[in-house]
Structure 1
Amino acid sequence: MVVANHPSVQQCHTLAVDIGGSGVKVMVLDLEGNPLSDRDREPTPTPATPDAILAAIDRLAADKSFERISAGFPGVVREGVIETAANLDSSWIGFDLATALAEHLGKPVRVANDADIQGLGSIAGKGVELVITLGTGFGSALFMNGRLVPNLEMGHHPFRKGQTYEEQLGRPALDSVGKKRWNRRLERAVETLGHLFNYDCLYIGGGNAKKIDVDLPANTKIIPNVTGLLGGIALWKEWE
């Protein structure tokens, strides 16, 4: 979502923001989406209210130069407004993040679901591509020939034993059942998703992707967590 006049493309640097259940990350990207700064991080504050998260972003952005902002949020986002926030404070519901962030940092802002952005930074743009993110929760994004189906939020759909994908594969589940059982659950999830979506490629990202210890199908790729920031450039591509 644009909340101010878009800057001149020739000198555009983008502050990519990734808001997560365990960390808030930022990085500056050039016009092609290449990193111009380190990936800086603060732990997600408790409680993770809008004011607390915005204060963390202010601190992380203080020493950086940029002309526009992209932000990924772990929930449904519509026109820059947050509609769900399962792993953050409930005060996010109905919060206009795009407008608030633009007012805080004085730059135009676009906001999207964090898994959608991770997908935009990872996909090949051919055929049916599914992205899942394994972090505090369970994110998902679906693409057809590079076109996004927004706000899939598959993590809250039933998976097995009366629980959702997020309840079975989120960070609390990993901590509770241990890495071995969690990996067995992931194997079942990958098999189920393959039958459900018949995708050409599955991408698995998020902070807990490093915990994967099973053989995955040939059409599955593990992607680095930094793509949750690098994909932010795609929110601005139409101006270029």
Structure 2
Amino acid sequence: MNANDGGPYTLGLDIGGTGLKGSVLDKSGHMIVDRVRVPTPKGCTPDQMVEALAKLVKPLPAFDRVSIGFPGVVRDGRVVTAPHFGTDPWRGFPLQQKLGDRLGRPARLCNDAEIQGLGIILGHGLEVVLTLGTGVGSAIFAGGRMTPHLELAHHPIHKSETYNAYLGAAARKKAGTKKWNRRVLRMIDIVETLLNYDTLYIGGGNAANVDKSKLPDNVKIESNDRGITGGLRLWDDTVWQSARDIGHGGEGD
């Protein structure tokens, strides 16, 4: 495939704590096939993850390059933290290079919430993205540019509970959706006080469970598919250079 038939084509991969998702995007960022999803292997080691992703993409059409969203801190193409998989075996793992080599295509790696944000933001003012899934992801953009990563998930929000413990998938299941929604509103109030954002976007798999009727006007619910489609923008050289300037992006091609 090439630019003459809608390419270059980008494989967008969204690594989650419970699911691995992917699809192939055309040059406009549209999925050319429905996304595929498989459960994330439990206790997944780095090498197991690479092989699981390679298996995931086998039924997908050909692609020219790869964008990878990872649920943790990444820097210079390597994993810094992997809270859903156990950080110790992951620390320093060059996921960008390893997966690119395994798939035989150039790859670029970024935090999953930041990739989702790239697929959402309009580039006006201070925009914040929070993803509600297995845990809580966060990304902040100023004038359309990434800012240094804030790992909000591990910050206390209620007594000794972190955002992950208070608002993650396990918390919703335990507390029930009604009580969990009250927690979401509390989170919104705190993040607004903390950042004074212009717009807050809520994505992730559990965004579908948020009660939209009680949200402030500047809070928007977004499709979880943005975690895949946002991957196209990692191949915008201006975006990628911005990511590299603050240590998010690796060398890449």
Q: Normalised by the shorter chain, which TM-score bucket? A: over 0.9
What is the 5 A alignment of 1:191-202?
191-202=189-200
CA displacement at 1:51 relative to structure 2: 2.1
Equivalent position of 1:67 in the other structure: 64
Equivalent position of 2:251 in the other structure: none
Equivalent position of 2:246 in the other structure: none
2:126 aligned to 97, 103, 128, which one?
128
Instruction: Give the distance between the partners of 1:9 and 1:34, measured in 2 at CA.
Output: 14
Equivalent position of 1:92 in the other structure: 90
Instruction: Give the distance between the partners of 1:166 and 1:224, measured in 2 at CA.
Output: 20
CA displacement at 1:150 relative to structure 2: 3.8
Equivalent position of 1:224 in the other structure: 223
Given the alignment of the two structures, is residue 28 of structure 1 paired with residue 27 of structure 2, yes or no?
A: no
What is the 5 A alignment of 1:60-209?
60-63=56-59, 64-90=61-87, 91-209=89-207
Q: Unaligned 5+ residue runs, structure 2? A: 240-253
Quickly say closer, same or farther: Cα 1:190–1:239, change in 2 above 3 A: closer
Instruction: Give the distance between the partners of 1:9 and 1:180, measured in 2 at CA.
Output: 48
Q: Could you list the runs of 4 or more consecutive aligned residues of structure 1 that deviate by over 3 angstroms after TM superposition?
A: 7-11
SS at match of 1:38: coil
Instruction: Give the distance between the partners of 2:101 and 2:236, measured in 1 at CA.
Output: 23
Residues 119-163 of structure 1 show CA distances to partners (whole Å, capped at 9, x for unaligned) of 000011000000000000100000001001142211111211122
Instruction: Give the distance between the partners of 2:126 and 2:3, measured in 1 at CA.
Output: 31
Quickly say closer, same or farther: Cα 1:191–1:30, change in 2 above 3 A: same
Equivalent position of 2:247 in the other structure: none
Residues 143-192 of structure 1 show CA distances to partners (whole Å, capped at 9, x for unaligned) of 00100114221111121112211111011111221112211111111011
Instruction: Give the distance between the partners of 2:42 and 2:163, measured in 1 at CA.
Output: 24
Contact 1:202 1:219 in 2 (8 A): yes
1:179 maps to amino acid: T
CA displacement at 1:52 relative to structure 2: 2.1
Alpha-carbon RMSD across the aligned residues, in angstroms, is: 1.7
CA displacement at 1:31 relative to structure 2: 1.3
2:181 maps to amino acid: N
What is the 5 A alignment of 1:9-28?
11-28=7-24
Instruction: Between 174-183 and 134-143, report the one with greater CA deviation.
Output: 174-183
SS at match of 2:214: coil
SS at match of 2:81: coil
Instruction: Give the distance between the partners of 2:98 and 2:230, measured in 1 at CA.
Output: 22
Contact 2:2 2:9 in 1 (8 A): no
TM-score (norm 1): 0.93
Instruction: Give the distance between the partners of 1:27 and 1:150, measured in 2 at CA.
Output: 28
SS at match of 2:123: coil
TM-score (norm 2): 0.88
Contact 2:113 2:139 in 1 (8 A): yes
SS at match of 1:71: strand
What is the identity percentage for the equivalent residue pairs of Structure 1 and Structure 2? 48
Q: Unaligned 5+ residue runs, structure 1? A: 1-6
Equivalent position of 1:4 in the other structure: none
Residues 36-78 of structure 1 show CA distances to partners (whole Å, capped at 9, x for unaligned) of 1210011001122222221221112223200100000000010
Contact 1:58 1:105 in 2 (8 A): yes
Residues 87-123 of structure 1 show CA distances to partners (whole Å, capped at 9, x for unaligned) of 1233222111011101110100000000000000001
